[in-house]
Amino acid sequence: MTTNIPVQSGTAPAGAVDGDLLVVRDLVKHFPIRKGFWSKIVGQVRAVDGVSFNVRQGETLGLVGESGCGKTTTSRMVMRAYQPTGGTIYFRDRTQGWLDIPTASANQVSGIRRNLQMIFQDPYSSLNPRMTLLDIIGEPLMVNGVAKGSELQDRVAELLRLVGLHPEYMARYPHAFSGGQRQRVGIARAIALEPQLVVCDEPVSALDVSIQAQTLNLLEDLQARLGLTYIFVAHDLSVVQHVSTRVAVMYVGRIVECAPTEDLFFSPKHPYTEALLSAVPTPDPTRRGSRIFLAGEVPDASNPPPGCHFHPRCRYAADICRTTVPPLTEIAPGHTVACHMSDQLSLTGVHA
Amino acid sequence: MKTSTDAVRVGTPSAPRDMDTPVVLDVNDLRTHFTMPGGTVRAVDGVSYRLHRGRTLGIVGESGCGKSVTAQSILGIVPRPGKVVSGSMVLTRSDGSSLELAGLDPKGKVIRSVRGNEIAYIFQEPMSALSPIHTIGHQITEVIRLHTGANRDQARERAETVMRQVGLPRPDEVLGRYPHQLSGGMRQRAVIGIALACSPSILIADEPTTALDVTTEAVILDLVRSLQDTTGMAIQFITHNLGVIAEIADEVVVMYMGRQVERASVTDLFLRPQHPYTQALLRSMPRLGKRAQARLEAIEGMVPDPFSVPAGCAFHTRCRHYVPVRCDQPEYLEVAPGHWVRCSRAGEVA
């Protein structure tokens, strides 16, 4: 299993550095709100509103934020499940070189799909109950003409072993397995074609505490073994801190802060990140620490406040925040933040 | 620099308290079993604890450990074919008399005067706890009128007071709305409002924040705590999230396969856990602020099938301290004042 990527056709997009696997620039997705008999468009839900980030080969990029912040929509666009309203998503395909996912031709896409896989949140609804594990895990291998017949069975057995399940389970149906085991099946299917990039959408949030740790360990083992790159979408910050190399925090369709994991958790530079970190309950009753209680609600993405989207709930908001959108600027190597006040604030992160 | 501190509040949750107030509910050796064609599931198998006035008892465990069935047993709402087969649940009523809840007819007059009135229940998913075709106002005044016999106007007035208590600033506006018109956080506030409408002496909260975002969760936990301070109600807080338990509970019960494996004050449980299951749970979770962890210490295996619970200690199949014979009949013993553990090797394992 190799990780070397020969760069062939397609030129590198602007802003790509050596070692980048995915370069997302100014990604926008608006969903129309339709009303009335003629389904007239009366508004736009700005689910993703100008998101840019890079994903490097072999790393795990954590994408966090509260429900409705656009993290899932972003990952769906990377998977080409949604067509973006604007922006580019350049992916360095193993055989085809740099390609823009939304505008790639049908032929190019079928090549990309092999190298781009997804692990879903709910292991109960993501597996077809009428297919055996052999069918479920073997399907991508068969469709892509990788293996068939006894060779296929051998491959599936190997994959099952890789994710910690007995190969004898191959003939069974998903109902015979627990949630944690099903999630392993979903992981086996995702890695069957040795993809370059795996999008994990809340892969452990439906699992019990004792099963979460097993699954996270498995994902890390597979990453080390197969040289996988992950985009890890989650809302549980302690899980994200554990798995991620770098973390991007989203709020109402925009990235507000992006930094290496330690920098982000120990010295956040955006007031929203600070509030988010302070809200996470700590499993230590002697440290019932001070909490920042945000007032109000997450704004409606069809009618977000002007300027910085966070300003109505921000305790540091100044006049400029109400009128001007803060640009995402690099304030330290690899640490970008979208806040007008970032150089004047000293915010509290988590305690070591 | 102009700050808008009115929009944001910084607060520190109160420290854990001792369980030194009067007992309002005494649950003793409760057993609730489900008899099914495939065998009997002992969903709750010998659980004992007490709820104290103005204090919070946390019940933690993984899915299927019986934590919700315990709560349902108290209110007589165990889904069929589940049945309370033995044990007692004694409620101290507001007039000082005692009431045994175990033998009550689940459709009878007595338990119906308790439900929603003396013992209130908050469910996990606020959307399914609320009727989608009635306004919030309708649903809350219904409870008030049923239990207090208040007339329409009095009930409305009480409803507005409660809505203000749970932090919904414009009550008349919220009371006229349907559940789908509210956000998740507001809906959960409304549900808490309905639960508090009759000033219950006991509040059972079953995973009340699991469906919410962390920032909303923090606000709701703070709300529950401050409401407890003003009303003095006892809270039974059910969750699988150890972080939330550490934040809100005074005393904690850990359950595994229908049994209580450990019961201790929240400080003892987190700082000096005695049962290998509790220890393993605490070790397996990723923690915020812990630097550069290589691997998580996962618990091996999975939760056993409820139809075939391992004999002896139910955790022995996954326990790294298991010793044959010795672990066959673990007793539930008090290893330190107020600290109970069901493990034959308690005290020697860490």
Write out pLDDT tens, residues A73-94.
Answer: 999 999 999 999 999 999 999 8
List C-alpha distances in Å: B225 to A102, B69, B143, B220, B240: 49, 24, 23, 9, 19
Residue A71 to residue A75: CA distance in whole angstroms: 6
Which of B168, B209, B214, B255 is the best mutation test for A, with the most CBs of A within 10 A? B214
Structure tokens at A72: 């899932």
Residue A26 is part of which domain span?
A: 20-244
Considering the domain architecture, whether residues B220 and B275 belong to the same structural domain is answered as yes
> Residue A180's Cα: distance from chain center in Å?
20
Mean pLDDT of A28-37: 90
- Parent domain of B335: 20-118+201-285+297-343
One-letter amino acid identity for A125?
S
User: What ipTM, to 2 d.p.?
Assistant: 0.84
Closest CA to B256 of B182, B340, B313, B320: B313
Is there a single domain that holds both residue B277 and residue B228?
A: yes
**Is A274 inside any structural domain?**
no
In a domain, A8, yes or no: no
* Calpha distance B138→A325 (Å, rounded): 43
Query: What is the C-alpha separation between B272 and B278, in angstroms, rounded?
Result: 10
Q: With 50 as the cut, is the pLDDT of residue A7 above it?
A: no
- Kindly state whether residues B104 and B145 are assigned to the same domain: no
pLDDT of residue A122: 87
Average pLDDT, chain A: 90
pLDDT at A1 over 50: no
Contacts of B215 (CB under 8 A, 6+ apart): A66, A275, A276, A279, A294
Q: Which two tokens stand for residue A309?
A: 């989207």
- Residue B337 in any domain: the answer is yes
Say which residue, A55 or B304, is predicted with more confidence.
A55
Helix (H) or strand (E) holding A200: strand A197-201
B150 and B275 share one domain = no
Q: How many CB atoms within 10 Å of residue A242?
A: 25
Tell me, what's the pLDDT at A352? 66
Q: What is the full DSSP assignment across B285-306?
A: S--TT--------PPPS-PPPT
Same domain membership, residue B271 and residue B211: yes
* Interface contact flag, B62 A209, Cβ < 8 Å: yes
Mean pLDDT of A298-317: 90
CA separation for the pair A173, A134 (Å, rounded)? 9
Which pLDDT does position B144 carry in this prediction?
92
Q: Of the candidates B143, B167, B197, which is a domain's last residue?
A: B197
Q: Are B219 and B261 part of one and the same domain?
A: yes
> pLDDT of B109-140, one tens digit each?
999 989 888 999 998 777 788 999 999 999 99
What confidence tens digit (pLDDT) does each residue in A154-172 have? 999 999 999 999 998 899 9
Domain for residue B319, yes or no? yes
Which pLDDT value is given to residue B6? 47
Which CATH number does the domain housing residue B246 bear?
3.40.50.300
In chain A, residues 174-203 whose CB comes closer than 8 Å to chain B: 178, 180-181
Low-confidence ranges of chain B (pLDDT < 70): 1-8, 291-293, 350
Q: Do A281 and B9 touch (CB under 8 A)?
A: no
What's residue A328's pLDDT? 92
Residue A321 has pLDDT above 90, yes or no: yes
Asked if residue B290 is part of any domain, the answer here is no
pLDDT bin (cut points 50, 70, 90) of residue A22 is very high
Sole residue written with tokens 């789908």: B180
- Asked if residues A217 and B298 have their Cβ atoms less than 8 Å apart, the reply is yes
Best mutation target among B271, B288, B293, B302 (most A Cβ atoms within 10 Å) is B288
A60 occurs within a structural domain: yes
| Chain A residue numbers touching B216 (CB-CB < 8 A) | 66
Cα angle at A238 between A236 and A244, to 5 degrees?
Answer: 95
CA pair distance B341, B317, nearest whole angstrom: 18
For A:276-335, CB contacts with B below 8 A are 276-286, 288-298, 312-319
| Residue with the larger pLDDT of the pair A64 and B184 | A64
Same domain, B252 and B272: yes
The conformational region for residue B292 under phi > 0 = left, psi -120 to 50 = alpha, else beta, is left
Closest by alpha carbon to A199, among A30, A49, A82?
A: A82
CB A278 within 8 A of CB A97: no
Contact (CB, 8 A) for B212 and B185: yes
Amino acid B293: pLDDT: 62
Give the CATH number, domain containing residue A76.
Answer: 3.40.50.300
| Dist CA B45 CA B30 (whole Å) | 7
d(CA A251, CA A174): 36
Q: Who wins on pLDDT, A2 or B2?
A: A2
**Number of compact structural domains in chain B:** 2
